[in-house]
Amino acid sequence: MTIIEETAGVPAPRAGGEASGPLLEVRDLHVEFHTRDGVAKAVNGVNYSVASGETLAVLGESGSGKSVTAQAIMGILDMPPGKIPHGQILFRGQDMLTMSNDERRKIRGRKIAMIFQDALSSLNPVLSVGYQLGEMFRVHQGLSKKEAKAKSIELMDKVKIPAAKARVGDYPHQFSGGMRQRIMIAMALALEPDLIIADEPTTALDVTVQAQVMDLLAELQREYNMGLILITHDLGVVADVADKIAVMYAGRIVETAPVHELYKRPAHPYTRGLLDSIPRLDQKGQELYAIKGLPPNLLKIPTGCAFNPRCPKADDICRTEIPALVPVTEQDGSELPGRGSACHFWKETIHG
């Protein structure tokens, strides 16, 4: 049985001249939180990667470790109580967990930027958006106040904020939720990072605005040829923008696949459950499917496959042996690039 070492598999970087290999690669990452009640194992051996110009969507129910993995990449984990007992976070092949603070600082915040769900709490309410955007240029690039203001207006135009020139002095609360999220995107773009991590960037917005903000993000990502890690629990959001998906459950990747293949033929019962829970127009009036039970308590993850208590396919082996993430193949054994499943019964799930 070969364990998938890296989940790159799917499309090589599109633009020419890129160094080969992934931009960011997370290898066997473990994160635990030492609490009064015990050790919560939030991330239990995550492997994923993203290349320049590529979008990786990370999907999973609440508490599956999506944000904690991102926080580990950005270096913003609460430590303590958080701890990284094992793993590597490679940026262009260099492990950020072992490099010097100086080297790390050059990458985080500059080469990697993050967009959070809640713009209102990420922006300072008593400073104008122009000031906050401009600060990026003044502090990091040493631009004058006037130059920084001009750059801020340029960026606000770029993220399609109407009347940018007139609004550059406005405060965060004077913008709508969607516009604030555009400002967050502008801040993330300011230093032209190689990678953006967007953690539920549209969850707080209503559905039409969600789609607009997501389209904007996808458009800019293509234009700048950035890597994008898009964290969400909304399968509907990712179909149009992602190249590949990693599905997380209880701190592990349980399935990886190019986006359209995952929708067509899931190879893990958990993914199938998530797909079956999406409301569909042609099933109006019918009761919506829900995966039974709840995600596990991370202080006491079930033995074997963590999903086994909720899984319709679970058998004895699922209660005793943790399934490794293995390559998924066609029935005749031919390769399915980029596909992997951590299920003892992946064959039945995808081909059955």
Ligand X SMILES: Nc1ncnc2c1ncn2[C@@H]1O[C@H](COP(=O)(O)OP(=O)(O)OP(=O)(O)O)[C@@H](O)[C@H]1O
Q: How far is the CB of 79 from ligand X (least distance, A)?
A: 9
Point out which residues bind ligand X (CB under 6 A): 33, 35, 40, 42, 60, 62-68, 78, 81-82, 233, 298
Nearer to ligand X, 119 or 186 (CB): 119
Three-state DSSP state, 20: coil
Query: In whole angstroms, how close is the CB of 175 to Mg ion at the nearest point?
Result: 24
Q: How many helices (H) and strands (E) does the chain have?
A: 13, 12
Q: In this structure, are residues 92 and 86 in contact, taking their beta carbons and an 8 Å threshold?
A: no
Pairing of strands 244-249, 252-258: antiparallel
Comparison of 53 and 251: residue with beta carbon closer to ligand X: 251
Which residues in the chain belong to E strands, given as ranges? 24-35, 38-50, 55-59, 82-91, 94-95, 112-115, 195-199, 227-232, 244-249, 252-258, 326-329, 335-341
Sole binder of Mg ion in the list 44, 55, 67, 341 (CB under 5 A): 67
- Return the half-sphere exposure (C-beta side, CA atoms, 13 A cut-off) of residue 350: 27
Q: Using CB under 5 A, count the residues that bind Mg ion.
A: 1
Q: Which is nearer to ligand X, 179 or 231 (CB)?
A: 231
Of 104, 85, 79, 102, nearest to 94 by C-alpha is 104
Minimum distance from residue 82 beta carbon to ligand X (Å): 6
- From the list 30-38, 60-68, 219-227, 320-328, the region that binds Mg ion by CB under 5 A is 60-68
- Chain centroid to CA 221: 14
Compare residues 133 and 298 and give the one whose CB is closer to ligand X. Answer: 298
* Closer by beta carbon to Mg ion, 119 or else 161: 119
Binding-site partner at residue 65 among Mg ion, ligand X, none, CB < 5 to 8 Å by type: ligand X
Please list the residues that pair with 246 across neighbouring strands: 58, 256
* Binding at 63: pick from ligand X, Mg ion, none (beta carbon under 5-8 Å per type): ligand X
Return the residue nearest Mg ion (CB atom). Answer: 67
- Quick one: which of 302, 221, 192, 293 has its CA closest to 55? 221
Residue 40's binding partner out of ligand X, Mg ion, none, with CB under 5 to 8 Å set by partner kind: ligand X
| Span near Mg ion by CB under 5 A; candidates 3-11, 61-69, 240-248, 271-279 | 61-69
Residue 28 or 192: the one with the smaller Cβ distance to ligand X is: 28
**Both structure tokens of 162:** 């109407």
What is the binding site for Mg ion (CB under 5 A)? 67
